[in-house]
Amino acid sequence: MRIAVIGTGYVGLVTGACLAGFGNRVTCVDVDEEKIRGLQEGTVPFYEPGLGDVILSNQRAGRLAFTTALPEAVRDARVCFITVGTPSDVDGSADLQYVLEVAEQIGAALEGPSVVVTKSTVPVGTADRVRHCVARALEARGAGIPFSVASNPEFLREGAAVADFLHPDRVVVGADAPEAEETLRELYSFLPQEKVLFMDIRSAEMTKYAANALLATKISFMNEMARICELVDADVEKVRLGIGSDGRIGYAFISPGCGYGGSCFPKDVRALRHTALQKGYSPRILQAVEDVNEAQKHVLFQKILRHFGGELGGRVLALWGLSFKPNTSDLREASSLVLIQDLLGAGASLRLHDPVALEEARRLLGNRPGLAFLTDHYEALEGADGLVLVTEWDLYKQPDFRLVGQKLREKAVFDGRNQYSGPELRRRGFAYYAIGRP
Ligand SMILES: NC(=O)c1ccc[n+]([C@@H]2O[C@H](COP(=O)([O-])OP(=O)(O)OC[C@H]3O[C@@H](n4cnc5c(N)ncnc54)[C@H](O)[C@@H]3O)[C@@H](O)[C@H]2O)c1
């Protein structure tokens, strides 16, 4: 099948490369010329385990191509995937300008029947707007080409995106027209039939938001439990084990920490809240989830400030982990960024380390005074007054604490992901602070 994928971010690249792996002929499109040039030369624009190999093998086999010329890619594509970003607008709604712009361009370029599939996360009703944009562009050039629209929200996780695409828990497809359903059934025939769930388009669009909002709710709930545990001298990690073992609850997304970030949870919770408000309903849970998370991003800073008696001027802190979660170079809405602003604002200097997100951090934060970017995580500790663990990369899980103690000027560890043993660190002479644990 000929496929066009518009938008070569995490979702577009993984979708395009993996579908090419099943023998389809895929062309991926982006407006970012530098990104496309890099991809043509075999450079993946971000860190995503395993993606480079899938891209390269399909590119070499001639099944996967990259271009900035949308018309060429779309012209004879049986399926056009829209995978561009849907960032938060100022009022919290999903900004659909890129999605609708692409829909218009598809309508201007189509030469044969096609299914236009939105994979980006978009509010209920967006498929109708996509249909309208494509139809308007076709009409403008007097082309009576038949097309249908579908919704196929993506659930992959950065850091495990290729495996998630190839072995998903399920694929959700919203399709109102039989030809769209038939085409997508064929496209997803590499999966067991029961894993491909067909439904109406509006329910498919809503499913993505409901899933992300529920996962974000679990995280914020546990972070609130962590706060309460601190007040009553209980250990939230023990509580986590106690509740996670309950078959009705489970362990997924109940680890307390210093707040969730990323390109999905924060913006999707905001967008869903905005949709509800627009319809006259004030969603209390979603508001609370956002509020708790915003507050949680400052929790480490408060612990650090308290440890140093309310004065951070002249202090140096080492930060381990900058990406919003392990195994990605993505820094969008990462907790680290909030913490860095808090610490710099209070007069501290920072020595930053991340296994793969250092360059992206340098690009975002700039080379300002008070910031040092270190490529070795032990070197980041040299002369620092404390170690702050922000993102739980494997590399940080079993450090040599003897070396950590030697490198640090003051033996203090602020563990934003509850990775270390408090008793063990205290035995070694460290001051140790975690989330919701004594
Ligand atoms: N990143 C994730 O983990 C994830 C998971 C599931 C769903 N989603 C959703 O998928 C969508 C894409 O997310 P992402 O993280 O892949 O985005 P991204 O920001 O990484 O990539 C989007 C790409 O679209 C390109 N683009 C913008 N306008 C364009 C246009 N007019 N023509 C061609 N290309 C254009 C950008 O240059 C960029 O390369 C979003 O709606 C997101 O919410 C993301």
Q: Say whether both 161 and 268 belong to one domain.
A: no
Per-residue pLDDT tens digits for 219-273 = 999 999 999 999 999 999 999 999 999 999 999 999 999 999 999 999 999 999 9
Q: What CATH number does residue 357 fall under?
A: 3.40.50.720
Q: Say whether both 246 and 360 belong to one domain.
A: no
C-alpha separations of 256 from 81, 203, 259, 286 in Å: 36, 31, 8, 18
- What number is the average pLDDT over the span 146-150? 98
Please report how many Cα atoms fall inside a 13 Å half-sphere around the Cα of residue 428, on the Cβ side. Answer: 18
Query: How remote is the CA of residue 86 from the centroid of ligand 1, in Å?
Result: 7
Q: List the residue whose alpha carbon is closest to atom 25 of ligand 1.
A: 7
Q: Say whether both 238 and 373 belong to one domain.
A: no
Report the chain's mean pLDDT, rounded to a whole number.
97
320 within some domain: yes
Determine the residue type at 208: K
Q: Say whether both 180 and 222 belong to one domain.
A: no
* Neighbouring residues of 369: CB distance < 8 A, sequence distance ≥ 6: none
C-alpha separations of 76 from 40, 149, 406 in Å: 21, 16, 63
User: Catalytic amino acids?
Assistant: 264
Q: Does residue 367 register a pLDDT over 90?
A: no
pLDDT in the model for residue 412: 98
- Closest residue by Cα to residue 289 from 229, 209, 231: 209
Q: Where are the beta strands (DSSP E) in 227-305?
A: none
- 434: tokens are 């975690």
Query: How remote is the CA of residue 98 from the centroid of ligand 1, in Å?
Result: 9
Q: List the residue whose alpha carbon is closest to atom 28 of ligand 1.
A: 98
Q: Does residue 438 register a pLDDT over 90?
A: no
Work out the pLDDT band at 304, boundaries 50, 70, 90.
Answer: very high
Query: How remote is the CA of residue 398 from the centroid of ligand 1, in Å?
Result: 35
Query: How remote is the CA of residue 9 from the centroid of ligand 1, in Å?
Result: 5
Ligand 1 and 156: CB distance under 6 A: yes
Q: How far apart are CA 103 and CA 106, in angstroms?
A: 5
Report the nearest atom of ligand 1 relative to the CA of 268. 43
Q: List the residue whose alpha carbon is closest to atom 13 of ligand 1.
A: 85
Q: How far apart are CA 283 and CA 277, in angstroms?
A: 7
pLDDT in the model for residue 117: 98
* Neighbouring residues of 135: CB distance < 8 A, sequence distance ≥ 6: 107, 147
- 189: tokens are 């025939």
Query: How remote is the CA of residue 179 from the centroid of ligand 1, in Å?
Result: 26
Partnered with residue 81 across adjacent β-strands are 5, 117
Q: Where are the beta strands (DSSP E) in 106-186?
A: 114-118, 147-151, 171-175
Q: Say whether both 301 and 291 belong to one domain.
A: no
Per-residue pLDDT tens digits for 121-141 = 999 999 999 999 999 999 999
Q: Does residue 321 register a pLDDT over 90?
A: yes
Q: Does residue 66 register a pLDDT over 90?
A: yes
Q: Does residue 116 register a pLDDT over 90?
A: yes
Work out the pLDDT band at 350, boundaries 50, 70, 90.
Answer: very high
Ligand 1 and 31: CB distance under 6 A: yes
pLDDT in the model for residue 176: 87
- Closest residue by Cα to residue 261 from 360, 342, 339, 334: 334
- What number is the average pLDDT over the span 45-59? 97
Q: Which of 295, 326, 350 lies at the terminal end of a domain, its last residue? A: 295
321 within some domain: yes
200 and 174 in contact (C-beta within 8 Å)? yes
Q: Does residue 404 register a pLDDT over 90?
A: yes
Three-class secondary structure of residue 413 per DSSP: strand
Three-class secondary structure of residue 4 per DSSP: strand
438 within some domain: no
Ligand 1 and 102: CB distance under 6 A: yes
Q: Say whether both 130 and 118 belong to one domain.
A: yes
C-alpha separations of 218 from 157, 213, 238, 256, 272 in Å: 17, 9, 17, 10, 16
Report the nearest atom of ligand 1 relative to the CA of 46. 20
Determine the residue type at 277: L
204 within some domain: no
pLDDT in the model for residue 89: 96
- 363: tokens are 């690009």
Work out the pLDDT band at 101, boundaries 50, 70, 90.
Answer: very high
Work out the pLDDT band at 192, boundaries 50, 70, 90.
Answer: very high
Distance in angstroms between the alpha carbons of the first and the last residue of the chain: 58
Q: 260-297: b or e for each residue (b if 16 or more CB lie within 10 Å)?
A: bbbbbbbbbbbbbbbbbbeeeeebeebeebbebbeebb
Q: Say whether both 266 and 323 belong to one domain.
A: no
Q: Does residue 16 register a pLDDT over 90?
A: yes
Three-class secondary structure of residue 48 per DSSP: coil
pLDDT in the model for residue 172: 98
- Domain that residue 408 falls in: 297-433
Ligand 1 and 16: CB distance under 6 A: no
C-alpha separations of 434 from 349, 374, 404 in Å: 21, 24, 17
Q: Say whether both 425 and 364 belong to one domain.
A: yes
Q: Say whether both 30 and 163 belong to one domain.
A: yes
- What number is the average pLDDT over the span 408-429? 98
Q: Which of 152, 177, 199 lies at the terminal end of a domain, its last residue? A: 199
Three-class secondary structure of residue 202 per DSSP: helix
Ligand 1 and 386: CB distance under 6 A: no
Q: Say whether both 226 and 169 belong to one domain.
A: no
- Closest residue by Cα to residue 234 from 435, 425, 416: 435
Q: State percent of the chain over pLDDT 70.
A: 100
Ligand 1 and 265: CB distance under 6 A: no
- Total domains, the chain: 3
Q: Say whether both 186 and 215 belong to one domain.
A: no
Ligand 1 and 158: CB distance under 6 A: yes
pLDDT in the model for residue 374: 98
- What number is the average pLDDT over the span 401-406? 98
Q: Say whether both 398 and 417 belong to one domain.
A: yes
- Closest residue by Cα to residue 271 from 99, 100, 118, 90: 90
